[in-house]
Every structure is written in C-alpha cells, then in structure tokens.
Amino acid sequence: MELDSAAVLENGGKKLLNGGGGPELLSNGAGGSPGGEGSSGPGSPASDGEAATGQEGAAAGELMKKPAGPLTKRVRKLSRSNSKDGVLGVAGTPNFVAPHRKWKNSRRSRNGYGRGLPKKGGAGGKGVWGKPGSEEVYDELDEDPNDPNFDIDAYNSSHNVELKEIVPQPTEAEVAKKLETIILEYFEHGDTREVADALDELLPPGLKPLVTKTFVSVALEHKQSQRELTSVLMSDLYGRIVTREDICAGFDLLLANLADIMLDTPDAPHLLGNFIARAVADDCIPPKYAYQSEREDLDRHGQAALVRATTLLSMHDGWGQLDNVWGVGGALRPVQTITQQMSYLLQEYLLSRDLSEAQRSIKELEVPHFHHELIYEAIIMTLEAFNESTEVAICELFRTLDSTCIVTPEQMEQGFRRVYEDMTDIVLDIPLAYSILDRFIQRCQRAGSFMSEALIKDIPTRGRKRFVSEGDGGLIKQVNFQRDL
C-alpha cells in the first residue's frame, strides 16, 4: 500500500509542530480530524484500505520526526582511489576504454619513480635556455650560395675542417727530470721491473739514449752501492726498453759532457770507465766500443775514461772479476769483513795521519749503523799502543768524526760502553788498561764535547783487594789471606 501522491504533497506543505508531550504525526486530512475532507466514511468499501494506509502513514511519520537539536548538513566524504585500481568503465558505454589501451597510451612512467630526468632533457619548458649545445643551431642552418651576403671563406673554414688527435711530445728536459725521479726511487726499492714499467709509459722512441745518460750521471754523485744498482738496472733494461745502440749513444753523450760532469765529480773519468767496462762484461755494448780511445771527437777526459775501461777489460783474470768492479758495499758484507776493513783503515790513518782520507774511507764503508765497531777498535788500538802520540791521533779522529756528523753521538757512546763492559777481559792482556783508559778519556774530555757527562762518570775503575783493614792497626787478616792463597 502506497501513500497518495497528492496527500504527500499536501502533507509536505504542513508545518511540523512540536507538542508539549512529543512530536505530532502527519495525517492525510487537511485538518487531520476523522471527519475532515478527503476521509472515507465508516461504511465505504475502501475504509479498510484507507485505514491500512493511515497506519503506514503513521509509521512513516514516526520516521520523519524532527531532530531535537539544530539541523546540520552532513559533509560528503570524498574517497581517494588510484586510477589504476578504479573502475575504468563498463563495456558498451561511451566512456569505456580498454585497460591495456589506456595504459599503453599513457605518458606516465611505468615504474613508481620515473627516470629522474628533467623534462625533455632540460630543453623544453617555459623560461629555460634550451638543451645544452642548442646554441650551435646556426651551423645547421642551410646557407644559400646565391645569397649576396654568402661568405664562401667562412663557409669553407667551418665545413672543410678535419679534426685529428694530437698527443704532445715531452721535451728532453721534461724527460730527464722524470728519469731522475725514477732512478732516485729505484735506489730506495731496487725493483728493476717497476722501473721498466715506468719507462714503457714515459719514453718516446727518439729519447731512449737519455736513459743511460741520466742514470749514470745520477749514479756518479752517489755511493758505490748505488752505482752497482745502476749497472744491474742497465743490464736488466737491455733488450726490453733500450737497445745496444741506445746505450752506446748514451755513453757518447756522457763522454762529450765529461768536462762539465767533472765540476761536481772530479773522478768522473775513472768512474765512467768502470761503467763502460761493466756494460761490456754484461754484454750490453760491444767490446770494440771501449777500445776506441783515440777517437778524435773526444777530449782528453773522454779518452781517459776509455783507457780506464780498456785497462779493466785487458786484465788477466778475465771479465768475471768486473762483477765486483764497484765492490760489495753496505750491509751485504760479512761482519768479519767489515771489522777487518775498519782495522786496516785505522792502521793506515795512524801511519799517514790524514783525516780527510780517513773520513772518505769511513764513508765508503756505508755502514752507519756499525760505526760503534770503529770506535771500539780505535780504543783497543789506543790501549794496546801505550803511546801518547797514538792517543792524540785517535782523540783528534773522534773529534773530527763528531764535528762532521759522520759518526752519531749514539754510535760514539755505544762504542765506549762496549769497551767499559769488556774491561775485565781486556785487562788480562793489557794490565795497565784501566789507567790508560782513564788518561785517554780525560784527553778526549779536554779536546771537545763529544762525550757526555754520564759517559765520563761511568768510566770503570779497577777494584783492589784489601788485605789490611784500616781499623785493625795494620794487622793482616789471616782469613782473607788464606782464602786468596
């Protein structure tokens, strides 16, 4: 049963009245009374239906009660949904797009992050300068040769250009400077393979003779051990980096500049002759190169170097002894050999009293960590000589070695203390060792300040046995006397 539409409109025009006991129901009549207009009588056939309709209207009226509080409008909640997950439409409707075609034509990134690049590579958009390199668009414009302002020279200069890669070649001075750095590093590590790898990346083909010239020039200013390392390096580089002709050309440069080299190294002809003889013994250059001592393009210093090489190669012992042309320097020698060389050095000094020669010989030993043995041997010679002139000479040598810093104060003190510790054994061979040592230390103290006060205070003294006590009245103690016997 449905309510009449006219009745609903009429009821819509009525006012909702709130009674004292509660809300008033809406009725179909104009006045809402049972005998009002539009209501059926009790005897009519539709009375039952209308009664039922009235009951349903009363129930609907209960649902349309006016709320107790003020009337508020509920805000519609907007739901957010991803366009990928929403409904795209129903097939057959005008707005329907197939899912696979919708995402196929989409400009959005397929992943959730995008490529991370600016739009159009920075070339598009409002207020931008354009893509890098776009300022050269003028070169891409078509130029008309029939244009009166057409410049044929400018066109040819911009279009008929061939670009080639040019690798700048280092100069001779730059290569020589880098070679000096390489050889100095080689003296520290001694690895010939590392030097060969460095030369592979550095040397241009026309400057390979500089290898021999630079390496030998630097070695002339160093010691025997570095010269031995240089000869070994030249032998290892032969055939890999330099050829026989390159080594000969390098020696020619050295022979031509030997007069200038002698300003820093006076014995350069003698040393260069050793290098040439060693290169011949290592099969790096032919023997005929050393026997050309009468070459007209050489001065007397260059000829003297070749004469030295010829002399070494003409020795009866053969070329095998040229492997030790520089000697065995540094800590590679046995301790007994170094000690023997120091003893010979001191004996030669006591005979000649030449301090400069003694200093040079000590430097050539190349054992600064073993100089305490030199001090020890010198003091023992002083004790054995029992001679005042020997004490003066050794004291002067110690003072010179300390002032020139050839022997460090630590090595000097260690040598003296070794003598202090061995005095109990030394006195067995030299009975007056204690008195001689005391006199020598006093002389060294007056000569200079190369001995510390602690070292002077620690000088050993020979203890004496007391047979007679000072408090016994000069009587001999029988117990001690019998014990000593």
3-state DSSP assignment of residue 446: helix
Chosen domain end from 324, 350, 382: 324
Domain membership of residue 241 (yes or no) is yes
Percent helix, strand and coil across the chain, each to the nearest 5: 55, 0, 40
Residues 289 and 187 in one domain: yes
| 480 in a structural domain | no
Q: What is the C-alpha end-to-end distance of the chain, expressed in Å?
A: 155
Q: What is the CATH number of the domain that holds 354?
A: 1.25.40.180
Q: How far apart are CA 409 and CA 390, in angstroms?
A: 22
Predicted confidence at residue 40, as pLDDT, reads: 41
Residue 205 has what pLDDT?
Answer: 76
Q: What is the structure's pLDDT at 36?
A: 40
Instruction: Among 297, 324, 351, give the residue marking a domain's end.
Output: 324
Q: Mark whether 380 and 421 lie in a shared domain.
A: yes
Element spanning 131, H or E: none
82 falls within a domain: no
- Within this chain, do residues 307 and 209 fall inside the same structural domain, yes or no? yes
CA distance 242 to 12: 117
Q: Are residues 339 and 226 located together in one domain of the fold?
A: no
pLDDT given at position 331: 55
Q: 309 and 450 in one domain?
A: no
pTM comes to 0.50
The pLDDT of residue 382 is: 94
d(CA 120, CA 130): 9
Check whether residue 185 and residue 289 sit in a common domain. Answer: yes
Question: Is residue 310 located within the same domain as residue 339?
Answer: no
Per the domain annotation, does 144 fall within a domain?
no
Q: Are residues 318 and 177 in the same domain?
A: yes
Q: Tell which of 273, 302, 324 closes a domain.
A: 324
Assess whether 253 and 351 both reside in one domain: no
pLDDT the model gives residue 60: 45
| Residue (of 302, 316, 306) closest to 280 by Cα position | 306
**340-375 per-residue burial string, b: 16 or more CB within 10 A, e: under 16:** ebbbebbeebbeeeebeebbebbeebbbeeebbbbb
Identify the pLDDT of residue 105.
65
The distance of Cα 331 from the centroid of its chain, to the nearest Å, equals: 30
> Cα–chain-centroid distance for residue 13?
96
Residue 204 in domain: yes
* Grouped pLDDT means (10 residues each) for the chain, 485 residues: 40 41 40 40 43 47 51 54 47 60 64 57 62 58 73 74 80 91 92 91 85 94 89 92 93 92 91 93 91 86 92 79 73 80 93 92 87 94 91 93 92 94 92 91 87 88 58 52 46
Q: Is residue 280 part of a domain?
A: yes
Please tell me the distance from the alpha carbon of residue 13 to that of residue 407, in angstroms, as a whole number.
128
Structural domain count of the chain? 2
Three-class SS string for 292-351? CCCCCCCCHHHHHHHHHHHHHHCCCCCHHHHHHCCCCCHHHCCHHHHHHHHHHHHHHHHH
State the pLDDT at residue 155: 74
CA atoms of 468 and 480, how far apart (whole Å): 9
In a domain, 18, yes or no: no
Tell me the residue range of the domain where 315 lies: 172-324
Overall size of the chain counted in residues: 485
Q: Are residues 305 and 351 in the same domain?
A: no
315 and 391 co-located in one domain:
no
Does residue 193 lie in a domain region?
A: yes
Question: Is 398 in the same domain as 443?
Answer: yes
